[in-house]
Every structure is written in structure tokens, then in C-alpha cells.
């Protein structure tokens, strides 16, 4: 599976949009971009995934560049409960999820 690069940490003010970037320049044609998050001492929580089109659900939006070499996860109105480690994972449909170091997002009042 392709490797991903994420910033180690980011800060966001409560109520503002949180934009989390991810680089995956070696992504292959059949690989999807997945985002999970992990709140302290809990299991990972699925957020969203996409192949090449932008995706939106009740939690977030995923913007994938046209060349698919990078993506951005957008939390439109961050709350304190969104403080977590966010993992960007690139995987083919049948492969096992492998976690990198992720981005620690701290949402402050």
C-alpha cells in the first residue's frame, strides 16, 4: 500500500473548520484514501473514504486532488470532542489497514 505523510500536529479553534492534509504521492489506481480517528484510549473510528471524487458525510468532507497525490479531510465546525489523532490511510480494497503516526488535532475553546 502507498505511504502517507501527515503533519504531526495541528490546532483548531472550536467552531472553525479543521483542514487536515495528507500526501500520498505513490498511490496506485485501485487504492482508496481512508480516514480514521482515534480519541484517547478508544478504538479507531471510521470517518470517510474515497477513490477519486470528493466525498461528504455527516462527519466530514474529503477532498482528493485530481492527480490523487494528496487529500484533505475537512471537519466543517470543529468541536472539543473532535480532539483526536487522525489517520490517513491508503489501501487497496482487500488489504489490511495499516496505521501511520497520524495527525494530533487539538481543538481549543
Partner 1 sequence: GAVVSQHPSWVICKSGTSVKIECRSLDFQATTMFWYRQFPKQSLMLMATSNEGSKATYEQGVEKDKFLINHASLTLSTLTVTSAHPEDSSFYICSARELQGYEQYFGPGTRLTVT
Minimum Å gap between C-beta 66 and partner 1 is 25
85 is written with which cell numbers?
489523532
Minimum Å gap between C-beta 73 and partner 1 is 17
Candidates 54, 80, 101, 108: give the one binding partner 1 (CB under 8 A).
Answer: 101
Nearest Cα to Cα of residue 49 among 30, 66, 62, 67: 62
Nearest Cα to Cα of residue 85 among 2, 10, 1, 5: 10
Candidates 8, 67, 94, 109: give the one binding partner 1 (CB under 8 A).
Answer: 94
Number of residues that bind partner 1 (CB under 8 A): 17
Cβ proximity to partner 1: between 23 and 38 the closer is: 38
Q: Of the listed pieces 11-19, 20-28, 59-67, 89-97, which binds partner 1 according to CB under 8 A?
A: 89-97
Instruction: Say how many residues make up the chain.
Output: 109
CA pair distance 68, 63, nearest whole angstrom: 10
Amino acid at each position: 500500500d502507498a505511504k502517507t505523510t501527515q503533519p504531526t500536529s495541528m490546532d483548531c479553534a472550536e467552531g472553525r473548520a479543521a483542514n487536515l492534509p495528507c500526501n500520498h504521492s505513490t498511490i496506485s489506481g485501485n487504492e482508496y484514501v481512508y480516514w480514521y480517528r482515534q480519541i484517547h484510549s478508544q478504538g479507531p473510528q471510521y470517518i470517510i473514504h474515497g477513490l477519486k471524487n470528493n466525498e461528504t458525510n455527516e462527519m466530514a468532507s474529503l477532498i482528493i486532488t485530481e492527480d490523487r497525490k494528496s487529500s484533505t479531510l475537512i471537519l466543517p465546525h470543529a468541536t472539543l470532542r473532535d480532539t483526536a489523532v487522525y489517520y490517513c490511510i491508503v489501501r487497496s480494497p482487500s488489504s489490511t489497514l495499516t496505521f501511520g503516526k497520524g495527525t494530533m488535532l487539538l481543538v481549543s475553546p
